[in-house]
Each structure stands twice: as structure tokens, then as C-alpha cells.
A and B are shown apart, each in its own frame.
Chain A
Amino acid sequence: MNILIVEDHLPTAESLTFYLQSKHHVVHATSCNAARIHLNHKPCDLILLDLGLPDGSGLEFCEPNLPDHIPTMVISGNAHLHTKITALDAGADDYILKPFSPAEVLARINALSRRFTPRSTTTLLTVGQLKLEEGRAEYLTQQAQLTQTEAQVLRQLMQTPSQVIPKSQLPATTSLEVHIKNIRKKLEVSKDHRLIETIYGVGYRLNPY
């Protein structure tokens, strides 16, 4: 998961980074403006947000009604009930009071990530005889566990079956051929009928029974 820490107390940001970087990709911003630049450059999956920043309160990042709302956990030394309520009402998803234990931060991050997992990645997709659910795929007599990237590639092909999808629109463009080869190996029952057809110079097409 990509985590953005917005915190102006540098040692706090560094110690949080130390703790989280073994499990997540962590970037750090010291002000609202720097955070905005980070978010424009690369979207993140979660924001850890201090409220008392040099150029604002940071609550602008909590906006709950935007379609691309990023789960936000406020990390603050302010224990006032009014501040907590204001932050949560502004759209923060969680509020943790400093000083906190590293284990609690991690547990809350995990809870938030479970709550915000897109439903589309956990629902069952079916096209003809092909079924895909959370990386588990079934096709005719074959059953296989796909890697995360293989599942992403197959899911995207299943969104528009029988249509050619250009390589550039599929995930893992550079290693795409390897992933396609692996999916075929795991799911195809016969080489006479290609589940995933290569359209040379263009892309791939899903043709399930």
C-alpha cells in the first residue's frame, strides 16, 4: 500500500516511516502544499495526517464526498473532543492520539485498508465458463490460483470479452507476455482453442466457451 505521511515534526515522520516501510511504500510531506504536490504526482492509498501544519490544518485532504476519496487517519496530539469531532465530520476516517504505540497504528491502518478495499476486486466475475474470484480462477476442468498481476490482467480482459484490448491498456505492460503465458498454462485445456487470443501488433482478446 502507498502511504502518505503529512507531518511537520520530522522525527515523528521518520520514526513512522521506519516502522511502516517494511510493509508499505511510504512518502512524507511536511506541509499541505507539499502533500498536494505528492498527490498530484502519484496517488496514494492512505494518508496519515497531522492537523497542525505550517500552512493549514490539513482537513482539506479529508473531503468525503469526492469520488476519489483517500482513506485518511488523523494523527494528532490534540485530545479535545471538539477537535476529534471536527476532523471526523470533515471526512477523516480515523483519529489516533499522540503518543501512540506502533502496533496500534499498524492495526488501524490494516482496519482502514480492509474497509476501503474496492468491492470489484473481491466479487465473482463470470464470462461463459470462466470464473474469477479473488485470484482464484476456474475454466472448464481447470482450477488455478493466479498471482495478483495475472488476476488483474484476466479481470481486465473479462470486463470486455470478445473485444481486442490493446497491450497498453493492460496492467504490467512490460512483462505482459509472461503473465499471459502463465494464465494460459494454468487455465487452457487445449491448444486448439485459445482462451486468450493474441492479436499480433495490437493486443489480446478473451474467447471463453
Chain B
Amino acid sequence: MSTKHANLQTLLHDLAGPLTVLSMCFPEVEKQLEKGRKIPTSPHLHRCIQLCAAALQETQQKLKNLQAYGEKLSLKN
């Protein structure tokens, strides 16, 4: 496997973590809201939303890394 491929694979692989958190936590937030839970009274819901926010930020950062790498490759070509 070329270095380019390996780097791309690592960058894509890094995205899996935060996307998993979003996949796990969004349905849980939805479920809690349907049950009528409110953030001030539900530490569980509060923590789920915090995890979603952090995962979203992590995803954005990792996408930027991927974008930067893509630009670097296209400049080389």
C-alpha cells in the first residue's frame, strides 16, 4: 500500500470514533426527549448532548485534516 493510501486510510479511520459517538448518542437523546426528559433534571440527557457536541467538533476537525491532506495531494499533482 502506498504512503498516500495509508495516510488517507488513517484519516478516514480517525473519523470512525466521533461518528460512532454520534450514532450512539443521537438516538438516545431522541429517546430521552420523547420520554419528556429535560436537560436541567436529567444528567443522562445532559451528558449525551455534551458527548454529541464534542463528537461533532471532533468530526469537523478530522474532516478539516482530511480536506487539508486532499489539497496537499492535488497541489503536488
Contacts and interface: CB of A to CB of B under 8 A. Distances in A.
Nearest to B17: A9
Interface stretch (A38-46, A99-107, A142-150): A99-107
B55 interface: yes
Interface stretch (B23-31, B34-42, B64-72): B23-31
Nearest to B48: A18
Interface residues of B, number: 23
A53 to B, nearest CB: 13
Contact of B23 (A14, A76, A101): A101
Interface in B7-46: 12-25, 27-28, 44
Most chain A CB inside 10 Å of its own CB: which residue of B17, B47, B51: B17
Interface residues of A, number: 19
A109 to B, nearest CB: 14
Contacts of B47: 14, 18
A15 B20 contact: yes
A76 B17 CA distance: 9
Interface of A: 9, 11-12, 14-16, 18-19, 52, 75-78, 98-103
Given A18-B51, A78-B13, A98-B19, 14 more contacts: A9-B17, A12-B21, A15-B21, A15-B24, A18-B28, A19-B24, A19-B28, A76-B16, A99-B16, A99-B19, A99-B23, A100-B20, A100-B23, A102-B23
